[in-house]
Amino acid sequence: MGIELLFLLLPVAAFSGWLLGRSDKRRKRTGTQLNPRYYQGLNYLLDEQPDEALDVFIGLSELDSDSVEIQFALAALFLRRGEVERAIRIHQNLIARPTLSAEHKRQALFALAKDYMGAGLLDRAENLFLDLSNDPVHGAASRQQLLEIFQREKEWRKAIGVAEQLRGNEREQYRPVLAHYYCELAELDLKKGDWAQMQQHLRQAIDSDRNSVRASLLEARRAIERAEWRQAIQAASRVESQDPDYLPLVLEPLHQAYVQLERGEEFVRYLEQLAARFSQQPIGDYLVTLYMQRGAREQAQRLLEDRLAQQASLNGLARLIGLLRDRQGGEQPWQQLHEVSQRLIEHKPSYQCRDCGYQGRTMLWQCPSCKHWNSIKPV
């Protein structure tokens, strides 16, 4: 343990000493005696013997508000050291005390539930947070913890049950998150081919958050699976007004639907409008690909050069090098430049969290690092 433990113990020891001193003054005024084991527990703390101190404090038959605060402080110390089992023991002992005040009992229950969360005992934590979900002091925090548990366990229906009970500002805050819960259920419906249930869940997602890009994309996927091409275009086109940062995700389903309707040229014109209004590199890349497929190489080169002049990008540079290589007949210098640029792109992330900076090559609706929803977007 050594010096590190000493620095961790000193704040608790000092706080304990202050509480004991205050308690001692009050007891002198009332003529009561202070239990000597208070001082014994404090001495154990100062002597770097936390287990002995723990045994003393939880073994006290007399329990007042000061000693309760000492035990909460000691539990916080153990949590800082990662010793969750000791913190659990303290909080369980407090809850078992019949003389504990109602306020302190709720505090201990909430602390114990968080201990269980830290220990991975999610079922126990869930039961305690459910009991506290309507508590005037700990209710809001308990509901948030419940949502975190249900998200970890992918219990989307339970998460919806908690989120639907939210009211006021709390409910408004969680509307986009609630939409994701319904989208998670819609994803499961899609795998099963349960189109009616999927449509119901997507309708509930949109009702929760009219700007749910994920719901629009899922609705487009559902329409494509059912060869409902016009509905697919209608759903995917909503993303432009919902959040244009996600436009790169709708290009492929939109292209597929326009082609199936034999309206490929109309899609090219639509993409040209998007490229003129938005700077996302994938939009320009997709348009370049369409130009190349139609043999419009000069048009593709002009577009690449114009967009690179406006905003430098590795993808755009690689596309231009590849185009120039092809025009030069695959000469060795151009081929080498193209290979190098492609290797650089292979290590470049496709998506990034706008909140914590997490990067990846797969689109995720909840960041695995900071756990925020709607924070990961195409680079």
Looking at this protein, which amino acid is placed at residue 17? Answer: G
pLDDT reported for residue 142: 96
Question: Is the pLDDT higher at 307 or at 82?
Answer: 82
Query: Has residue 152 been placed in a domain?
Result: no
Q: Tell me the pLDDT band of 46, cut-offs 50, 70 and 90.
A: low
What are the residue ranges of helices labelled H in 31-98?
A: 36-46, 50-58, 65-80, 84-96
Q: Are 23 and 35 in contact (CB under 8 A)?
A: no
pLDDT reported for residue 60: 65
State whether 323 and 359 are in the same domain: no
State whether 308 and 344 are in the same domain: yes
Query: Has residue 21 been placed in a domain?
Result: no
State whether 286 and 315 are in the same domain: yes
Arithmetic mean of pLDDT over the chain: 86
Give per-residue pLDDT as tens, 348-368: 888 999 999 999 999 999 999
pLDDT reported for residue 343: 73
Burial class (CB in 10 A: 0-12, 13-18, 19+), 118: middle
Over range 157-180, report the average pLDDT. 93
- Number of domains the chain is built from: 2
Structure tokens at 362: 């797969």
Query: Has residue 48 been placed in a domain?
Result: no
pLDDT reported for residue 329: 66
Domain around 355 = 349-379
Query: Has residue 199 been placed in a domain?
Result: no
Is residue 359 helix, strand or coil? Answer: strand
Query: Has residue 317 been placed in a domain?
Result: yes
Which of 73-77, 152-156, 229-233, 282-286 bottoms out in mean pLDDT, i.e. has the lowest?
Answer: 73-77
pLDDT reported for residue 9: 53
Residues paired with residue 359 on neighbouring β-strands, in sequence order: 352
Query: Has residue 290 been placed in a domain?
Result: yes
Looking at this protein, which amino acid is placed at residue 208? Answer: S
Give per-residue pLDDT as tens, 10-41: 555 555 555 555 555 554 554 445 566 666 76
Residues paired with residue 376 on neighbouring β-strands, in sequence order: 353
Question: Is the pLDDT higher at 79 or at 24?
Answer: 79
Query: Has residue 288 been placed in a domain?
Result: yes
State whether 320 and 356 are in the same domain: no
State whether 284 and 344 are in the same domain: yes
Which of 65-74, 80-89, 209-218, 289-298 bottoms out in mean pLDDT, i.e. has the lowest?
Answer: 65-74
Q: Tell me the pLDDT band of 1, cut-offs 50, 70 and 90.
A: very low
Over range 328-347, report the average pLDDT. 70
How many C-beta neighbours within 10 Å does residue 225 have?
13
Residue 258 has pLDDT above 50, yes or no: yes
State whether 336 and 291 are in the same domain: yes
State whether 301 and 356 are in the same domain: no
Query: Has residue 244 been placed in a domain?
Result: no
Q: Are 221 and 202 in contact (CB under 8 A)?
A: no
